[in-house]
Amino acid sequence: MAIERHPGEPRPGALAVPAVRELSPYQPGKPISELERELGIHDIVKLASNENPFGPSPRTLAAMQAALGEVWLYPDGGSHALKQGLAQHLAADAARLTLGNGSNDLLVLLAQAFLTPGHSAVYSQYGFAIYPLVTRQTGARGIEVPALGRGTGMPLGHDLAAMAAAIEPDTRLVFIANPNNPTGTWAAPAAVKRLLERAPASTLVVLDEAYFEYGRLRGTQDGVAWLAEHPNLVILRTFSKAYGLAGARVGYAISHPSVADVLNRLRPAFNVNSLAQAGALAALADQAHMESAVSQTMHELTRVQAELKRLGLWTAPSAGNFLLLRLPTPAAPVYERLLRRGLIVRPLAGYGLRDCLRISIGLPADNDRLLVTLPQALVAGGAAAP
């Protein structure tokens, strides 16, 4: 319900620091329950938040259920068992790890730890929307670098050479999403390596690999291999995507131990809850489940992309579990018509992409429904679903 305001009424919220007062909130994908409430419809498919509909493995769910018995206790604030599991999985020292309430938490912590109004951060046009948001929260200056153009092999993707050239003496963070959300585009290992070689020691390069497990099937590099040579590299990963644990909220940073030390001092003591810790540890031990979900998803991505092409629609090259789709008309009415037919996708007007939608890859039946429904929704006044 909207809050009614009267002239002259006190507004204590206005006491917030200017950088925070001026923020526009992040617009997440519409939850299924919200659409049910709004339209009174059921049988809704959400392809809007790049979740993994195969979900966590039975062993992961069993571990979370077992952890329920101790939910009255505070979690292990140091996430010891999960850190040990990750250290082994990554062949990296546990002192390099920081756990977060999703990797989004780590983006906020990085900005808080390294940015002030006297600093700047570099990110790409069409880069993940959280990068400008966390930068602005600190009052730092955002340097947005134009994306690669249509004529290139990776339209809408990060121009890493231009991003390296955009680094200024006050730049403390460079954000690279590989693959990137919402475009799905990715960077070749050699291009990332060149940026790492050009970035000065006074700048941290944040390599956000939220879609790493999908991207590596398209040849993206495992950034962990570069950590020894580049102490200013910070890699972010998450259990939200390939491991199917978006609702549990666990992500992690792998960095130089001195960066991990700073982030661990700054983070709230219990930022990863006990169910999430238990689930993530069990998920790590069940690689076969994750790999099967990833390979089925990438197989479906290829199929959906080919079908959309057959419909005469352009999609950006994608190494994530989603596609950016360009429409011949403004996307907002198409988005609304899809909603009325029980399909939630993501409009991208916030990125300045008014003729584009981002569509997550679902289960095969969900993708089939999209492929049947989209042509209907492209036609203004087309019949609504029964």
Ligand X SMILES: Cc1ncc(COP(=O)(O)O)c(C=O)c1O
Site residues for ligand X per CB under 6 A: 50, 102-104, 128, 177, 181, 208, 210, 238, 240, 246, 251
Shortest Cβ 328–ligand X spacing (Å)? 27
Q: Helix (H) and strand (E) counts for the chain? A: 14, 13
Closer by beta carbon to ligand X, 129 or else 285: 129
Shortest Cβ 319–ligand X spacing (Å)? 12
Nearest by Cα to 210 from 51, 21, 14:
51
Nearest 5°: CA angle at 118, between 113 and 121?
Answer: 65
Closer by beta carbon to ligand X, 242 or else 377: 242
Shortest Cβ 240–ligand X spacing (Å)? 3
Shortest Cβ 351–ligand X spacing (Å)? 12
Please give the single-letter amino acid code of residue 74.
Y
Shortest Cβ 50–ligand X spacing (Å)? 5
Cβ contacts of residue 230 below 8 Å, gap of 6+? Answer: 196, 199, 205
Supply the DSSP string of 159-211, one letter for each residue: -HHHHHHH--TTEEEEEEESS-TTT-----HHHHHHHHHHS-TTSEEEEE-TT
Closer by beta carbon to ligand X, 341 or else 362: 362
Shortest Cβ 367–ligand X spacing (Å)? 19
CA-CA distance, 68 to 169, in Å (whole number)?
Answer: 49
Closer by beta carbon to ligand X, 114 or else 212: 212
Shortest Cβ 151–ligand X spacing (Å)? 25
Query: Are the C-beta atoms of residues 178 and 208 closer than 8 Å to each other?
Result: yes
Closer by beta carbon to ligand X, 206 or else 334: 206
Closer by beta carbon to ligand X, 60 or else 238: 238
Say which residue the tokens 């939850």 belong to: 31
Shortest Cβ 130–ligand X spacing (Å)? 6
Shortest Cβ 103–ligand X spacing (Å)? 4
Query: The tokens of 106 are what?
Result: 């780590």
Classify the phi-psi angles of 178: left when phi > 0, otherwise alpha if psi is within -120 to 50, otherwise beta: beta
CA atoms within 13 A of residue 256's CA, in its CB half-sphere: 13
Closer by beta carbon to ligand X, 114 or else 322: 322
Closer by beta carbon to ligand X, 208 or else 300: 208
CA-CA distance, 36 to 43, in Å (whole number)?
Answer: 9
Residue nearest to ligand X (CB): 102
Query: The tokens of 371 are what?
Result: 């492929």
Closer by beta carbon to ligand X, 49 or else 373: 49
CA-CA distance, 247 to 51, in Å (whole number)?
Answer: 9
Nearest by Cα to 182 from 297, 308, 345:
345
Supply the DSSP string of 84-146, one letter for each residue: HHHHHHHT--GGGEEEESSHHHHHHHHHHHH--TT-EEEEETTS-THHHHHHHHTTPEEEEEP
